[in-house]
Amino acid sequence: MRLRVLIALAALFASASALAVAAPTTSLDITAKSVDFFSNRYVVTADGDVRVRLSDGTLVTGQTFTMDLKLNRFLVAGDVRLDGPAVHAAGAAFAGYPDLDRSYFLPAPADPAATPERWTYYGLDWSNAHAGREQPGDAFHFPDLTGERPYIYAVGARITPKTNVLFTFPRVYTAGVYLPLPRYVVTFSANSHFYENGFQGARSDVALPFNGSEHSLTALHLRNDAFSGTYTAIDQHFVWNNDWIVASIDPLTQVQRQYNVIGFKTFSPKVQGRLFLQESAGSAGIINPPIINAAAFTEIQLNAGLRRSGLSYTQDNYFQQLLGFRTPPDELMSTAFYDPRWREHPMNAALTWTGFQNSLSKNSPISFRLRSGFGWAHDAYGEGGYVNEQPGPKSLIYHFAGGLLSTNAIKLGKGPAPYSLTAQYDRQRQWYSLPHHVDTGDGRVSLSRELFRQHVSYYVAYEVRTVGDYWGDRQLAAYPTPTDTIVTPFGTYGGQSAFRGFATSHGLSASVVYTPTQYVGVNLLLSRFYDTPGPIPGAYGQPPVQLVGDLRVRLSKQVLVDLTRSYYFNFANERWTPQFGIQFLP
Amino acid sequence: MTRRIAAFFAAAVLLALALPSLAQGTLVRVTGQLLDVRNGFVYFTSGDAFKLAAAPRIADYDTGKPTTLQPRAKLFARAIIDPATKQVVELDLTTRHLADDAGYASVAQQYAQTKPTTEPAPEIVGQRISGKEVPVTFTVTVPPTTPLNSDVYISTDASNWNPQAIKMNRIDGQRYRAIRRFASGTKFFFRVTRGSWNSVERDQSGLEPAPHEFFVREVDSQGRDVTVYSWSDDRANSPQQAAPGAIPTPFNPNPFPPGGIFPPSRATPPGGFPTPRPPAQPNRPPR
């Protein structure tokens, strides 16, 4: 009996080990006289004394190597030797197809009288050559790189299929020159989470990814923004199929730093969670404790898919003045303004249910979507803060219900270029424990048309948005008559005295898109807003008339120039926006 | 007489046409890219091996004169085969990229020495891909609450997941469109964003969906419609999201911030440093 169990276990281990070897390689370590990367084609080539070590230790040597990173296939050709614990063979070429879990080999018979064969290996199982098995017609083809210039020259590379390439001692093409670096990682993963970071927006960002593996990426950034100037930042990614974490310090080399962590977890196909932690701290040097000040912000999001609906929980926490304020003598902060409530931590939490989009009836172009929820907010200063509630309660409970009614695009007329009509209306009421309630409404209707022959499409849209804060008998106490005229550095603006807590915005927009060729596109959007109360520059409101122009020109296969500029018709002495928005995109 | 003259000319023309063939004997030519030359065989990237003659002539492809090039992988070559012996008697080399040889298959079938494959491989799915440019139209239906002046983008793995990779044009109150050309056979993944990874598409349940997969087929044009039900920065209890860069308005942010008048304007994070808060400075509606 024991013998049978032993045999069964042995068989189990044997099958397990057979399964283990019948798997594609998880990495390729390449050394050669020259290793090049062609970024336009996602192709890595290597020439001269090429040595490719597969993840099981098998060594493939040859004259030349090429790998299409996107197609996930590689080729070693010319005087090829295949050496491993279970294989020693010489041949003309070796092609690896990890996605098919196959390797194709052209052995070179030592005897000139012998007939050449084609061998196929399964995964990393080198014990069976499967001679005479059908192979892909282009298994041994080289990619055509005519006219392509390498983006990177290196002497070695470690390729993690479907994820990244780590180049050792590369020279990277930057601003017209090849810049020598100790390491450089090119990530080509289909997983977008390798590219999400916790940085703030910047005018420019040059990344230097210098370390990476199947599940990680480390990058140094050189950034520039209006507030901090030019500075460095660093981020570290850990990425799995459905989960990821990114930690960053931005800026790294300035006194005022932000430490960010974003974590995303898929607990099940129907439950996801996201955590964002941010600490802002000021300290001289990188490793010194913060001495100037520190504050933090956290956000927790949990989403769950229900039957034809979704549930989401969101919680924001604010941690102001983490260090508190020192008693005198403190040359950095005057204690005259000290308020113990600075140590308090405002918080807001909300649970929201959102239904799926449902049609009013079968074949109806009208659909609706409902939502509701409740929440709790807390701030030591008092929530609300209206004139009639001084100070407001420290904690506030609210609940809300709303819905969206919308149409599909409804064709009007017949022919090759009919008009298309869409309409929608969103309405919500939110009740507060204060007590008062806020009603919001947003209605929009648009008429559009596409003239395919003229390469033109255009639409006009009319939108009405309303916000009303209802206090009942206490309306005028909450909203006493404000000053009618407000003087700002941009001028004097009147018409404010009518505000009683109800605001309305009417907007009329017209847009035209002209794409005469596949290389050029022009987009113009003209908007006119009528807001009550009227807009006050620097305080609230939007320019009454806005024109946004967008010109896109494709200069080459890889370079698209996007020029954007806005005109505000002298609102707040603003005509053209201060600068062009220019983007070079692939 | 006329017939005799015509026959004479016809014979002369036929002879002229046949002369080069006669001069070259019955040699057969095949062109391709080399993988290797070793152990008496020349290997092409088709995987076919041709037997080399004892002392094959190595020559320049363009001039036919002796060359300093040595046969090696990646070089293009013309193999001249003697049908009688089925051996390559001359190999003309060049570093130039040569066009595909239309007659390669028929020659290889007759003269290649490689054993034919006998076992089928069902995992290999044949598909003819020419790599021609195919215009692909993306049409994205956005949540109706998306502001009219919002920019919507498509981010793809082919552009390193730049969240602003492909800017779309709004074509009506609900839809955006963009047309891009891709080589047939291209396979990529994409997501819809509003320009940053803080504002990316979500499904009806509010969950993050898997990226959309797209394969460019061998067709004249292709299209893909995507519906975005919500954005990751949407808050159901604050339907009036602030548009990035916009001047504050009664609506943006509105004077009645939902969620319990929160976050208060004095709360600096995210993105900023705390400043001393003057005591009892409440939020106020616009004045």
ipTM value of the model?
Answer: 0.85
> Which of A146, A310, A447 shows the shortest C-beta gap to B207?
A310
Coil vs helix vs strand at A259? strand
A376 touches B at CB < 8 Å? yes
Cβ of A270 within 8 Å of Cβ of B164? The answer is: no
A517 touches B at CB < 8 Å? no
B46 touches A at CB < 8 Å? yes
Mutate: best of A225, A348, A545, partner B, most B CBs <10 A: A348
Task: Specify the higher pLDDT residue, B262 or A226.
Answer: A226
Mutate: best of A94, A101, A103, A140, partner B, most B CBs <10 A: A140
> Which of A295, A432, A486 shows the shortest C-beta gap to B269?
A295
Cβ of A424 within 8 Å of Cβ of B173? The answer is: yes
Which DSSP letter does residue B5 get? H
Would you place residue A8 in the very low, low, confident or very high pLDDT band (cuts 50, 70, 90)?
low
A439 touches B at CB < 8 Å? no
A218 touches B at CB < 8 Å? no
Q: How far apart are CA A269 and CA A228, in angstroms?
A: 41
Q: How far apart are CA A413 and CA A243, in angstroms?
A: 49
pLDDT tens readout for residues A286-301: 777 766 677 788 889 9
Which stretches within B68-196 are classed as H helix?
A: 104-111
Residues with Cβ within 8 Å of residue A268, at least 6 apart in sequence:
none
Pairing mode, strands A419-432 and B187-196: unpaired
Coil vs helix vs strand at A477? helix
pLDDT tens readout for residues A304-341: 999 999 999 999 888 877 776 555 444 444 445 555 55
Environment class of A363 (CB within 10 Å of its CB; exposed 0-12, middle 13-18, buried 19+): exposed
Q: How far apart are CA A174 and CA A168, in angstroms?
A: 17
Per-residue pLDDT at B158 exceeds 70: yes
Which stretches within chain B are classed as H helix?
A: 2-23, 104-111, 258-261
HSE toward the beta carbon, residue A552, CA cutoff 13 A: 25
Q: How far apart are CA A417 and CA A512, in angstroms?
A: 15
| Cβ atoms of residues B35 and B43 within 8 Å | yes
DSSP A14-73: HHHHHHHHSS--S-EEEEEEEEEEETTTTEEEEEEEEEEEETTS-EEEEEEEEEETTTTE
C-alpha dihedral, A177 to A181 to A183 to A187, nearest 10°: -30
Would you place residue A579 in the very low, low, confident or very high pLDDT band (cuts 50, 70, 90)?
low
Cβ of B259 within 8 Å of Cβ of A496? The answer is: no
Coil vs helix vs strand at A136? coil
Instruction: Give residue A381's pLDDT.
Output: 67
Cβ of A450 within 8 Å of Cβ of B250? The answer is: no
> Which of A139, A282, A354 shows the shortest C-beta gap to B47?
A139
Mutate: best of B76, B182, B237, partner A, most A CBs <10 A: B237
Tokens of A403: 């819905």
Counting other chains too, the contacts that A191-195 makes at CB distance below 8 Å and 24 or more residues apart are: A191/A163, A191/A239, A191/A241, A192/B155, A192/B157, A192/B161, A192/B189, A192/B191, A192/B197, A192/B211, A193/A237, A193/A239, A193/A244, A193/A246, A193/A264, A194/A164, A194/A237, A194/A239, A194/B161, A195/B160, A195/B161, A195/B162, A195/B163, A195/B197
Cβ of A187 within 8 Å of Cβ of B155? The answer is: no
* Chain A hits for B146, Cβ within 8 Å: none
The count of residues in chain A is 586
Percent of all residues in chain A with a pLDDT value above 70, rounded to a whole number: 88
Would you place residue B147 in the very low, low, confident or very high pLDDT band (cuts 50, 70, 90)?
confident
Per-residue pLDDT at A422 exceeds 70: yes
Q: Which of A290-294, A453-457, B190-194 has the highest mean pLDDT?
A: B190-194
Instruction: Give residue A584's pLDDT.
Output: 61
**Chain A residues 152-211 with a CB less than 8 Å from chain B:** 187-190, 192, 194-197, 200-201
Q: How far apart are CA B225 and CA A556, in angstroms?
A: 27
Q: How far apart are CA A426 and CA A439, in angstroms?
A: 11
Mutate: best of A69, A138, A192, partner B, most B CBs <10 A: A192
Instruction: Give residue A291's pLDDT.
Output: 67
- Stated as kind and residue range, the H or E segment containing A469 is strand A456-470
Q: How far apart are CA A80 and CA A89, in angstroms?
A: 8
A406 touches B at CB < 8 Å? yes
Nearest Cα residue in chain B from A262: B198
Q: How far apart are CA A408 and CA B239, in angstroms?
A: 20
Instruction: Give residue A297's pLDDT.
Output: 84
Nearest Cα residue in chain B from A481: B287
Nearest Cα residue in chain A from B50: A116
What pTM was computed for the model?
0.81
Cβ of A112 within 8 Å of Cβ of B39? The answer is: yes
Q: Which amino acid is at B255?
A: P
* Chain A hits for B172, Cβ within 8 Å: 409, 420, 422, 446-448, 459, 461
Which residue in A503, A404, A417 sits closest to A444, CA to CA? A404
Cβ of A295 within 8 Å of Cβ of B208? The answer is: no
DSSP A509-541: EEEEEEEEETTEEEEEEEEEEEEESPPBTTTB-
Nearest Cα residue in chain A from B279: A339
How far A2 CA sits from the closest chain B CA (Å)? 41
**Chain B residues 102-141 with a CB less than 8 Å from chain A:** 113-121, 123-124, 126, 135
Q: How far apart are CA B166 and CA B182, in angstroms?
A: 13
